[in-house]
Amino acid sequence: MQSLSVELNGAIAAIALLLLVIQVPALAVLLSRLLQGPRRHSPLQPQPPLSDLLGTVSIVVPTLNEAARIGPCLDGLSRQSYEVREIIVVDSRSQDGTPELVKAVGEQDPRIRLITDDPLPPGWVGRPWALHTGFLHSSADSQWVLGIDADTRPQPGLVSSLIQTARRQGYDLVSLAPQFILKELGEFWLQPALLMTLVYRFGPAGGTLAGADRVMANGQCFLCKRSLLVELDGYTSARSSFCDDVTLARHAARHGATVGFLDGSQLLKVRMYEGAVETWREWGRSLDLKDASSIGQKWGDLGFLVAVQGLPLLSVLGFAICLRLGYTSLPVMAVLVLNSLLLLMRVALLWAIAPSYDFTQAKASWSFWLSPLADPLAVYRIYLSSIRTPTQWRGRSYS
């Protein structure tokens, strides 16, 4: 019995050493990214338009059965000032009354124009095809093209702030991280854990970019110089991508464009999905970003997430039990301390990301503070997404 205990102690110590070898370098990488937080670009604020912004922006809104969500989006876009030349809604043959709703709003705002895109060509995903169609139909007199998703709620001063920031900072392409509107208990528990997978991999919005392959972007609010889109042949480089925003942004960065991903929580709100199940199914499909990444980067990022987000909670629970049972070797103590530190960092980050959430419509916002318990599940979702190719997306089926 004593020999068995010695062997078990050695096995537990070996596992602890292996975890230390994996997690210590991963922690160093994580700290290098999170420490950008204090130096990051401050959240953008609403700005009044300047006289020289007149008609500089064409807005493109892709839609497919968005009647239940597009109203607040169009209302917010109509409240943008004279910098907006046109608002092109590209509908992909919606069956829920979306076109009729858009036409009705267009009677109140002549800038709103509805077009229907052609049938999806081979090799294209629906969203980049709709955006590409809108770009081709936009005015050549506009200096910028702004892609906006139908589930967003643009706040007054959004477009002016975007343009002024892009000009001042010299961006050719800039996208915004929004403020999320969550309501149900399950959403508040799961969604922040999924969001944290992005923060851990790419740092906070407004941080310093570390090369084209680490560029982050958000297609919900995606501003690009028209001249750059002409040079890149519109959205063709992202035609087959289910994360077309990141794919296009990285492609642009490789071609020398200056790309920014900034905090837009004061300018843009979004109600993405209804409930935790839809969040798991829909958002989880593209969070791996495999369409914009090399195979090595995809699996390297997954291994990194396992080390710093998936394992800490499980490790603390497991090695605390080992400690309770008398297995008190130095590696066991070290791995327990390391993973406790990772958990404390994760809890502290809740305060950092809290401004990214609108709590005013929440029914159970207290579950937000329990979201670290969903971290292993979030990392598992990234794994599932990494090994699967979507066959359905926003009502469309793909082979």
Neighbours of 296 (CB within 10 A): 8
Taking only the tens place, the pLDDT of each residue in 98-141 is: 999 999 999 999 999 999 999 999 999 999 999 999 999 999 99
DSSP state of 50: P
Neighbours of 111 (CB within 10 A): 17
Separation between Cα atoms, residue 126 and residue 44, nearest integer Å: 30
For residue 13, which amino acid is it? A
**3-class secondary-structure state, position 58:** strand
pLDDT digits (tens), the chain, 399 positions: 556 566 777 888 889 899 999 999 999 999 999 988 778 889 999 999 888 889 999 999 999 999 999 999 999 999 999 999 999 999 999 988 999 999 999 999 999 999 999 999 999 999 999 999 999 999 999 999 999 999 999 999 999 999 999 999 999 999 999 999 999 999 999 999 999 999 999 999 887 767 889 999 999 999 999 999 999 999 999 999 999 999 999 999 999 999 999 999 999 999 999 899 999 988 888 899 999 999 999 999 999 999 999 999 999 999 888 888 887 889 889 999 999 999 999 999 999 999 999 999 888 889 999 999 999 999 999 999 999 887 776 667 766
Q: pTM for this one? A: 0.93
Q: Check: CB of residue 245 under 8 Å from CB of residue 217.
A: yes
Domains in the chain: boundaries = 2-38+296-397, 51-182+204-274
Taking only the tens place, the pLDDT of each residue in 7-32 is: 777 888 889 899 999 999 999 999 99
Separation between Cα atoms, residue 356 and residue 157, nearest integer Å: 18
Q: Check: CB of residue 317 under 8 Å from CB of residue 2.
A: no
Q: Check: CB of residue 346 under 8 Å from CB of residue 312.
A: yes
Place of tokens 């077009």: 115
Separation between Cα atoms, residue 287 and residue 384, nearest integer Å: 10
Q: Please state which CATH class domain 51-182+204-274 belongs to.
A: alpha beta
